[in-house]
């Protein structure tokens, strides 16, 4: 039991349970399985994006352009659907993944080949991708009446009583869990975050690995582009404006260290779920928008403080494993 309590995910899961219990005292229906299933579905896109951001942060980098990638890709597939409604949805999803991959690869190449800090690269592409969305659309919107019923309805369809959007999130979570715990790439990502110099001596190509993680985050941004537009049924230049802060906040709350090397898939998912519960619950119990922002901000600051204390006391995850061996 004492060993289990060392894991940040256990504390975060307990905090989520306590949060749900507190909210239920004011709004008992909040804890109903159907409502919790809806909260998970509402948070699915944030979970997916947080996982993409997680692999970047673990390598001591950051991707500020994910929301702009989402906006551009979402606009592209929405315009494609509006112009050619007969294109199957799987083809549109593959297109979104491919476009997102290209945008992520641009970030990765600039970081890898030109050795530019990721925060500078993605701060620039954040603006470029959103500007490209304006150029692509001419500033026009794509509304629900221009989208095909299949485009809107795919993620809303239910399988075993759960929306397809939730199933997509579960699939992405499973894939990231396998990537981070069962593959050489996952171990390389952690190793680079712990010590980039030592990683080079162990044969890891740090630049190439960073390029790959930016490609992954780009594909995730592209996937989220289709999911976002089809969920909120409107594509515009303002879509997901500023949402990159929510993505990073989910990672930080989930225990993903901004210094790299520390974090897990479970932490990123729970961090996103924590934010999702707050955003769903506070309006229900009549908390004013000002206090909603204050509570969310306080949770982020508390998470950063806990992360900093945890890193000082415990060291990096791979070093702990080596010491224990």
- Residue 312 scores a pLDDT above 70: no
How much is the mean pLDDT over the chain?
87
How is residue 170 written in tokens?
Answer: 């579960």
What span, in angstroms and rounded, lies between the C-alpha atoms of 96 and 88?
13
| Better pLDDT: 316 or 155 | 155
Residue 11: what pLDDT? 81
- pLDDT of 313 reads 55
Distances in whole angstroms, Cα of residue 187 to Cα of each of 92, 105, 111, 182, 310: 32, 21, 20, 8, 21
pLDDT the model gives residue 30: 81
pLDDT, position 132: 95
Task: Give the model confidence (pLDDT) of 24-39 as tens digits.
Answer: 888 888 888 888 899 9
- DSSP β-ladder status, 162-163 and 158-159: antiparallel
Measured CA to CA, the distance from residue 111 to residue 322 in angstroms comes to 30
The predicted pLDDT at position 324 comes to: 45
Angle between helix axes 33-57 and 164-182 (nearest 10 degrees) is: 40
Q: What is the pLDDT of residue 12?
A: 84
**Contacts of residue 321, Cβ cutoff 8 Å, sequence gap at least 6:** none
In angstroms, how far is CA 83 from the centroid of its own chain?
30
> pLDDT grade, residue 4 (50/70/90)?
low
Structure tokens given for 226: 């289709």
**319, pLDDT greater than 50:** no
CA terminus-to-terminus distance, the chain: 21
pLDDT digits (tens, 9 = 90+) for 139-171: 889 988 999 999 998 888 888 889 999 999 999
CA distance 73 to 97: 8
320 has pLDDT over 70: no
Of 5-9, 11-15, 228-232, 250-254, give the lowest mean pLDDT range.
5-9
**Domain 41-305's class?**
mainly alpha
CA dist., res. 34 & res. 29, Å (int): 9
What average pLDDT does range 70-89 have in this prediction?
94
Q: Is the pLDDT of residue 231 over 80?
A: yes
Q: Which of 265, 176, 264, 270 is nearest to 223 (CA)?
A: 176
Q: What is the pTM of this model?
A: 0.90
The CA distance from 268 to 280, in Å, is: 18
Tens of pLDDT, residues 93-110: 999 999 999 999 999 999
Encode 46-78: b = buried (16+ Cβ within 10 Å), e = exposed: bbbbbbbbbbbbbbbbbbbbbbbbbbbbbbbbb
Asked whether residue 307 carries a pLDDT value surpassing 60, the answer given is yes
Identify the pLDDT of residue 124: 94
Mean pLDDT over residues 73-92, rounded?
A: 94
pLDDT value, residue 81 = 94
Mind listing the pLDDT tens digit for each residue in 114-133?
989 999 999 999 999 999 99
Q: Given this model, what pLDDT does residue 230 score?
A: 92
What does the pLDDT read at residue 23? 84
DSSP state of 234: E
Domain spans of the chain, in order of start: 41-305
Q: Among 199, 185, 223, which residue's Cα sits nearest to residue 70? A: 223
pLDDT at 260: 84
């Amino acid at each position: 039991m004492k060993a289990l309590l060392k894991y940040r995910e256990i504390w975060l899961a307990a905090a989520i349970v306590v949060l749900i219990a507190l909210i239920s005292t004011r709004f008992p229906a909040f804890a109903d399985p159907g409502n919790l299933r809806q909260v998970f579905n509402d948070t699915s896109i944030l979970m997916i994006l947080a996982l993409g951001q997680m692999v970047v942060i673990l390598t001591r980098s950051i991707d500020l352009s994910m929301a702009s990638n989402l906006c551009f890709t979402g606009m592209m597939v929405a315009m494609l659907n509006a112009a050619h409604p007969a294109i199957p949805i799987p083809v549109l999803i593959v297109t979104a993944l491919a476009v997102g991959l290209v945008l992520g690869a641009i970030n990765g190449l600039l970081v890898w080949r030109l050795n530019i800090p990721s925060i500078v690269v993605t701060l620039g592409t954040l603006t470029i991708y959103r500007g490209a969305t304006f150029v692509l659309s001419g500033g026009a919107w794509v509304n629900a009446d221009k989208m095909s019923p299949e485009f809107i309805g795919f993620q809303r369809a239910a399988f075993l009583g759960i929306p397809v959007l939730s199933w997509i999130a579960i699939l992405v979570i499973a894939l990231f869990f396998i990537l981070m715990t069962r593959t050489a790439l996952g171990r390389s990502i952690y190793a680079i975050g712990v010590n980039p110099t030592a990683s080079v001596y162990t044969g890891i190509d740090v630049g190439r690995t960073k390029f790959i993680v930016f490609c992954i985050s780009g594909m995730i941004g592209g996937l989220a582009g289709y999911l976002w537009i089809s969920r909120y049924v409107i594509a515009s230049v303002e879509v997901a404006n500023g949402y990159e802060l929510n993505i990073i906040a989910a990672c930080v709350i989930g225990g993903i260290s901004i210094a790299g090397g520390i974090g897990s898939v479970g932490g990123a998912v729970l961090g996103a779920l924590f934010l999702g519960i707050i955003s769903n619950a506070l309006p229900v119990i009549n908390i004013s928008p000002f206090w909603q922002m204050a509570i969310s901000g306080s949770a982020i600051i508390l998470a950063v403080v806990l992360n900093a204390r945890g890193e000082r006391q415990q060291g990096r995850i791979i070093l702990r494993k080596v010491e224990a061996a």
